[in-house]
């Protein structure tokens, strides 16, 4: 369990910009691996604006933090892959790992396959950048904060609400089922069995509450107050899987596999020579 949690932490990356040689984080992401090819997964809204100036921050093998410009990945002919439903707040991009990257990933066998594993009142945990706590200069590493929540409502569109505070910078965070000896499976309580960590989804954004102050004299809105309700909208792993299985994603993935195969063959020829 400890080893798996460490791998999950290492799979977490931060996204943001550089201002005056200092990083400004605006979102979180995590790495997955398909056919030995790495991909970064995050919330779509994190990367749709000014994404060409964005960077990916991840840990280096020899300590410290590596900084990867997203533009360099896009210039190689790759693009963010999204869901055909524009309301799904997930984006996936190939991640060309380099020798000095400490690249870990969320294993495919952690992806939830059965919707019955998503039940209201099930406990969760998520890993993310937390404003005011994570500082590269102080930590000299990407050290995500681990926080807990609970599934508070399941929606028919493949999303669910998590009762757990999310803040700017938490978007794109991976959400996992919290290991527990007491489980709810298909409406029945099960005690005992393996303590499993499963990827349940990706945080889209926090759910705000909007309140308006109305003038008694004019009846017009004089002020608007926005509060964090303590709920976050999470897009389920099933929606991520639909992106991976889409024709658009698979077309790019096949190009990557062919390119990787050619590189391996070229490397073998060079080695023999």
Residue 254 lies in a domain: no
Distance CA 123, CA 250 (A): 33
Residue 257 lies in a domain: no
Residue range 95-116: average pLDDT? 87
For the chain, the domain total comes to: 1
The pTM score is: 0.86
Band of residue 272 on the pLDDT scale cut at 50, 70, 90: very low
User: What are the start-end ranges of the H helices in the chain?
Assistant: 2-11, 44-47, 70-75, 136-139, 237-244, 247-272
Residue 120 lies in a domain: yes
Residue 273 lies in a domain: no
Residue 268 lies in a domain: no
- Residue 138: CB atoms within 10 Å: 9
- Give the domain CATH number at 218: 2.40.10.10
Residue 271 lies in a domain: no
Residue 261 lies in a domain: no
**Which candidate, 112, 241, 102, places its Cα nearest to that of 185?**
112
How wide is the angle at C-alpha 182 spanned by C-alphas 207 and 12, nearest 5°?
50
212-257 confidence digits (pLDDT tens): 656 566 666 666 656 667 899 999 999 999 999 999 999 999 999 8
Domain span holding position 143: 2-249
Residue 186 lies in a domain: yes
């Amino acid at each position: 369990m400890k080893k798996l949690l460490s791998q999950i932490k290492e799979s977490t990356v931060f996204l943001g910009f550089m201002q005056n040689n200092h990083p400004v984080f605006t979102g979180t992401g995590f790495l997955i691996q398909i056919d030995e090819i790495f991909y970064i997964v995050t919330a779509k809204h994190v990367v749709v604006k000014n994404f060409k100036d964005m960077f990916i921050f991840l840990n280096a093998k020899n300590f410290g933090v590596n900084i990867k410009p997203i533009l360099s990945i896009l210039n190689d002919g790759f693009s963010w892959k999204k869901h055909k439903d524009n309301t799904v707040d997930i984006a996936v991009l190939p991640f060309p790992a380099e020798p000095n990257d400490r690249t870990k990933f969320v294993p495919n066998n952690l992806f939830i396959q059965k919707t019955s594993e998503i039940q209201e009142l099930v406990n969760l945990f998520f890993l993310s950048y937390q404003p005011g706590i994570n500082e590269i200069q102080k930590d000299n590493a990407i050290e995500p904060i681990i926080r807990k929540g609970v599934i508070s409502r399941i929606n028919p569109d493949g999303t669910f609400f998590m009762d757990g505070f999310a803040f700017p910078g938490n978007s794109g965070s991976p959400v996992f089922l919290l290991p527990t000896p007491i489980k709810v499976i298909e409406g029945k309580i099960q005690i005992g069995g393996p303590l499993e960590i499963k990827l349940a989804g990706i945080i889209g954004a926090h759910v705000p509450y909007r309140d308006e102050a109305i003038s008694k004299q004019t009846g017009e809105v004089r002020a608007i107050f926005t509060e964090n309700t303590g709920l976050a909208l999470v897009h389920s792993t099933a929606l991520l899987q639909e992106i991976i299985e889409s024709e658009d994603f698979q077309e790019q993935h096949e190009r990557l596999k062919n390119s990787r195969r050619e590189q391996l063959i070229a490397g073998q020829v060079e080695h023999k020579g």
